[in-house]
C-alpha cells in the first residue's frame, strides 16, 4: 500500500470491521497480514486451526449445513441440542478434510498459495455473493445486489425445499444456496459514508504482522457499531463497505490495502461488510490473510432483521410483493421460503458454523443489535474489551434523539458535531400479519437455539415473539 498523499503514519495494527449478520449482520474483526509498510509484505498463511475443544461433538456428528442438506432436514436431531446443556457445543468436530489444499492460487492473496480449498458445498453453492459480479469499487450507498440465480427479491431461484428445521410444526423449505446479505434494494447507508446494502459485517486489518481486527456483522446495527467504534482514538475505519472478501476478492490484496485507512502505531483499522458473514468463502479468505483477526458479528432478532431487510428493499423497489408473500413458499402450509435472502440471512447458526471451521469462538464477538439501540454504551464497552481497547467510548458519547428515535453520537470523532445515522437507518417497518410473525418465530426458534448453544449467549429473542422487535422509539420513552 502506498502512503502517497496520506499522513505519515506507520502501519501498525489494523482491524477490519464488517456486520446483517445480520446477518445483518450484523460484524467481524481480523488480523491482517505480515509485511511492512507501505508495500504489501509477504503474506503468512496459516494452517487450519486446531479444533477448538469446545467445539467437540456432542449429540450429533453432522454439521448444520450437512443436516440442512440431508433429506430429513434438522427435524429429529434438533432436540439433542438442548439449551443449557452445552453452551458452546456445536456438536461438530472440524473435519480435517474441510479445509483442504487448494489447487489454485487464491486471487486475493497472490503471494502465497492458498492452503485451503473448500469442498463443494451444495448447501451454499458458490457462496452468498459472487465475486465476479461485484463492481470495481467498494459499494458506497448501495445495498445488496441480487445474488446470481436469485430473483429481484433476493430469493434463490433453484433451491430444493427441505423439511422444516426443528420441531416447528409447519413444513419449512431450506434452500440449497446462500444468498447475499441484505436483500436487494436495501437502503443505502447514510452519513457519513454511504453504505451498501448487503449483510452486515466488518473487517479490520493489521498490515504489520501482528493482529488486526475485522468485524462482520450479520444483523441490524452494523453501521451504528462502526460509527460508534470510530469514535475511539485507537480505531481507524473505512466508511464504505469494501466487500473485499466476497465480491472484490479477485482484485487482490493490494487493492484492499489501498482502500484501508492508514494507522498509527497502536491503532486498529476496521471495516464493515455485512455480507461477509453469509459468504461461504469469507472465513477461509480472511483466515488465509490473518488467522488472528478478530471478528465482530451484530445479530438481531432474525424476524425483525428480515422485516428490516424487506423494508429497505421496499424503499427502493416499492413494487415488490408483500413481505407475507415473499416469506412463504406456501403460506397456507406454513412453508417458509428459506431461499429468500431476507429469511436465510437470519439463520445465524448456519453461517456461524462456517466461520467456526476456521476461527475459534474466542475470536468472534457478538453484538446484540437490540442492546446496541437500548444501551449503546454498554455494548460498545464489550466491543472495546474484545478488541483490547481502553473503554473510551462511553455514555458520554451517546444521547437519545427523540426525533430520530435512536441513540445518536454526541461526538463521532474529535471535533465533529453530534449526529445521527441517516434516514435509511431506523425506518418504520411495515405492519406484518401477526400469524406470519408467529410462524417465522417458530421457524427460527431451533436455529436460534443452536446459535445460543454455539455462542453461549442469550439474545432474548424468545421474548419478542409477539411481534416485530420494538425499536428504541418504543423502548426509550
Ligand atoms: N443508533 C442507531 N441509529 C439508527 N439505527 C440504528 C441505530 N442502532 C441500531 N440501529 C439499527 O440498525 C439497523 C440497520 O442495520 P445496519 O446498519 O447493519 O444495516 S445494513 O446491513 O448495513 O444495511 C436499523 O434497522 P431498521 O430500524 O430496520 O432501519 C436500526 O434499527
Question: Mind listing the pLDDT tens digit for each residue in 108-161?
Answer: 443 333 333 333 333 323 222 222 333 334 543 333 333 333 444 555 444 333
Ligand 1 midpoint to CA 241 (Å)? 15
Ligand 1 midpoint to CA 55 (Å)? 32
pTM given for the model: 0.67
Burial of 87 (0-12, 13-18, 19+ CB in 10 A): middle
Half-sphere exposure of 368 (CA within 13 A, CB side): 19
- The answer, yes or no, to whether any atom of ligand 1 lies below 6 A from the CB of 123, is no
What are residue 281's DSSP bridge partners? none
Helix (H) or strand (E) holding 267: none
Ligand 1 midpoint to CA 224 (Å)? 6
Give residue for cell 438442548: 82
For 47, the 3-state DSSP assignment is: coil
Q: How far apart are CA 186 and CA 29, in angstroms?
A: 24
Residue 411 banded pLDDT, cuts 50, 70, 90: low
- The answer, yes or no, to whether any atom of ligand 1 lies below 6 A from the CB of 68, is no
Give residue for cell 491482517: 32
Between residues 84 and 250, the one the model is more confident about: 250
Residue 219 banded pLDDT, cuts 50, 70, 90: low
**Is the confidence at residue 174, as pLDDT, over 50?**
no
- Taking domain 212-455, whether its CATH number is 3.40.50.720 is answered by no
DSSP character for 10? P
Give residue 474's Cα distance to chain centre: 26
What are residue 22's DSSP bridge partners? 24
Domain ranges of the chain: 212-455
Between residues 101 and 434, the one the model is more confident about: 434
- The answer, yes or no, to whether any atom of ligand 1 lies below 6 A from the CB of 24, is yes
Q: What is the pLDDT at residue 158?
A: 40
Query: From the CB of residue 259, how many other CB atoms can be counted at a distance below 10 Å?
Result: 18
Query: From the CB of residue 324, how many other CB atoms can be counted at a distance below 10 Å?
Result: 16
- The answer, yes or no, to whether any atom of ligand 1 lies below 6 A from the CB of 300, is no
- The answer, yes or no, to whether any atom of ligand 1 lies below 6 A from the CB of 223, is yes
Contact between residue 207 and residue 37 where contact means Cβ atoms under 8 Å apart: yes
DSSP character for 110? T
Whose CA is closest to 347, among 125, 169, 175? 175
**Is the confidence at residue 345, as pLDDT, over 70?**
yes
Q: In what order do the strands lie in the sheet with 14-18?
A: 212-213, 14-18, 202-204, 268-272, 235-237
Q: How far apart are CA 313 and CA 143, in angstroms?
A: 8
Mean pLDDT, all residues of the chain: 66
Q: Is the peptide bond before 38 cis (omega within 30 degrees of 0)?
A: yes
Amino acid at each position: 500500500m502506498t502512503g502517497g498523499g496520506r499522513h505519515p503514519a506507520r502501519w501498525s495494527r489494523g482491524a477490519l470491521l464488517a456486520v446483517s449478520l445480520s446477518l445483518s449482520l450484523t460484524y467481524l474483526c481480523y488480523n491482517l497480514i505480515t509485511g511492512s509498510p507501505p508495500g504489501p509484505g509477504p503474506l503468512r498463511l496459516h494452517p487450519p486451526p486446531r479444533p477448538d475443544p469446545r467445539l467437540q461433538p456432542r449429540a450429533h456428528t453432522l454439521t448444520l449445513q450437512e443436516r440442512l442438506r440431508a433429506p430429513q432436514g434438522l427435524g429429529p436431531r434438533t432436540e439433542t441440542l438442548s439449551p443449557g446443556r452445552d453452551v458452546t457445543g456445536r456438536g461438530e468436530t472440524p473435519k480435517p478434510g474441510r479445509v483442504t489444499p487448494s489447487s489454485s492460487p487464491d486471487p486475493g492473496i497472490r503471494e502465497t498459495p492458498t492452503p485451503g480449498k473448500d469442498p463443494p458445498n451444495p448447501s451454499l453453492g458458490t457462496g452468498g455473493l459472487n465475486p465476479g459480479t461485484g463492481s470495481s469499487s467498494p459499494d458506497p450507498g448501495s445495498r445488496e445486489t441480487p445474488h446470481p440465480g436469485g430473483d429481484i427479491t433476493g430469493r434463490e431461484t433453484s433451491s430444493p425445499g427441505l423439511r422444516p428445521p426443528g420441531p416447528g410444526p409447519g413444513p419449512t423449505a431450506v434452500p440449497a444456496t446462500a444468498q447475499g446479505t441484505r436483500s436487494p434494494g436495501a437502503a443505502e447507508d447514510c452519513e457519513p459514508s454511504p453504505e451498501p446494502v448487503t449483510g452486515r459485517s466488518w473487517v479490520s486489518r493489521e498490515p504489520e504482522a501482528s493482529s488486526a481486527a475485522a468485524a462482520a456483522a450479520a444483523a441490524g446495527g452494523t453501521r451504528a457499531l462502526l460509527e460508534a467504534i470510530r469514535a475511539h482514538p485507537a480505531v481507524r475505519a473505512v466508511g464504505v463497505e469494501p466487500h473485499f472478501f466476497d465480491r472484490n476478492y479477485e482484485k487482490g490484496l493490494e487493492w484492499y490495502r489501498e482502500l484501508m485507512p492508514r494507522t498509527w502505531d497502536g491503532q486498529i483499522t476496521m471495516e464493515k461488510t455485512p455480507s461477509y458473514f453469509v459468504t461461504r468463502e469469507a472465513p477461509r479468505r480472511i483466515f488465509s490473510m490473518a488467522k488472528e483477526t478478530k471478528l465482530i458479528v451484530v445479530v438481531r432478532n432474525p424476524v425483525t432483521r428480515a422485516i428490516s431487510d424487506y423494508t429497505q428493499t421496499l424503499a427502493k423497489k416499492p413494487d415488490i410483493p408483500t413481505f407475507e408473500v415473499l416469506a412463504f413458499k406456501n403460506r397456507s402450509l406454513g412453508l417458509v421460503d428459506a431461499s429468500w435472502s431476507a429469511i436465510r440471512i437470519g439463520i445465524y447458526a448456519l453461517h456461524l458454523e462456517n466461520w467456526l471451521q476456521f476461527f475459534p469462538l474466542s475470536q468472534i464477538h457478538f453484538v446484540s443489535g437490540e442492546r446496541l439501540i437500548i444501551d449503546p454504551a454498554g455494548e460498545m464497552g464489550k466491543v472495546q474489551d474484545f478488541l483490547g481497547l481502553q473503554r473510551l467510548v462511553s455514555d458520554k458519547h451517546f444521547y437519545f434523539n427523540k426525533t430520530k428515535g435512536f441513540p445518536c453520537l454526541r461526538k463521532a470523532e474529535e471535533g465533529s458535531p453530534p449526529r445521527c445515522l441517516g434516514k435509511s437507518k431506523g425506518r418504520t417497518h411495515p405492519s406484518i400479519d401477526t400469524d406470519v410473525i408467529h410462524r417465522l418465530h417458530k421457524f427460527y426458534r431451533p436455529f436460534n437455539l443452536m446459535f445460543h448453544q454455539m455462542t453461549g449467549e442469550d439474545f432474548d429473542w424468545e421474548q419478542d415473539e409477539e411481534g416485530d422487535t420494538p425499536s428504541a422509539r418504543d423502548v426509550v420513552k
